[in-house]
Chain A
Amino acid sequence: KAGVTQTPRYLIKTRGQQVTLSCSPISGHRSVSWYQQTPGQGLQFLFEYFSETQRNKGNFPGRFSGRQFSNSRSEMNVSTLELGDSALYLCASSSGLAGYGGELFFGEGSRLTVL
């Protein structure tokens, strides 16, 4: 069974630009969530999508947005990039069913550097 696939793996942007990251979940998984990982703050929850609907959202500014398509693939977008957005962005998939909170299967991440 193929794992969670994230693209691109590495990217460099400059302040003010925007970026779109892509995630393909494990086949059959309907929930996709996004996390930001930085050395100082660790892993922080951005948002979760289930059946194309945002089901949960973390405490990030509106510059961070996402969507999910009918095939469960997901994208997240960060607009007006800031230096502090440099991080590893991790996508995780799961069945999304109630009673399985926290059983996440992570991709290898997209490492974003903002110059």
Chain B
Amino acid sequence: QKEVEQDPGPLSVPEGAIVSLNCTYSNSAFQYFMWYRQYSRKGPELLMYTYSSGNKEDGRFTAQVDKSSKYISLFIRDSQPSDSATYLCAMSEPGGYQKVTFGTGTKLQVIP
């Protein structure tokens, strides 16, 4: 079983919809939680970064971390065609520095 599980999708939604992306994990030592977005033929780019539990909002994006359930979520409000990409959840431990464990990614398509 992988340390981080993520539904690969694909997920197809109409423009303007609210999108919910989720990951579960098994390693209770994870303290840093990230969401990366990867467009086709590009490297991943950091979208959201959270330390420990709680919520973080940035524009149309909200990240939630529930460490008690080992569950993280990313919500995208008013989704746009430009949001069409693969979304990767990622996690790391204190002292792990840049050793990051990624989910396999969820491919999202927002249809105009």
Contact = CB atoms under 8 A, between A and B. Distances in A.
Contacts, number: 79
A106 B100 contact: no
A107 B45 CA distance: 9
Label chain B's interface by main secondary structure. loop
Given A31-B97, A96-B98, A103 B49 contact: yes
Contacts of A64: none
Contacts of A44: 102
A56 B41 CA distance: 27
Contacts of A31: 97-98
Nearest to A45: B99
B21 to A, nearest CB: 15
Interface string A85-115: 0000010101010100111111111000000
Interface in B54-97: 88, 90-97
Interface string B4-48: 000000000000000000000000000111101000011111100
A58 B102 CA distance: 13
Interface in A30-62: 31, 33, 35, 41-45, 48, 50, 55-56, 58
Interface residues of B, number: 29
A55 B92 CA distance: 15
A76 interface: no
A16 B45 CA distance: 33
A81 interface: no
Contacts of B96: 56, 101
A102 B91 contact: yes
B101 interface: yes
B98 A56 contact: yes
Given A56-B98, A96-B97, A101 B92 contact: yes
Nearest to B31: A101
Interface of B: 31-34, 36, 41-46, 49, 88, 90-105
Interface of A: 4, 31, 33, 35, 41-45, 48, 50, 55-56, 58, 90, 92, 94, 96, 98, 101-109
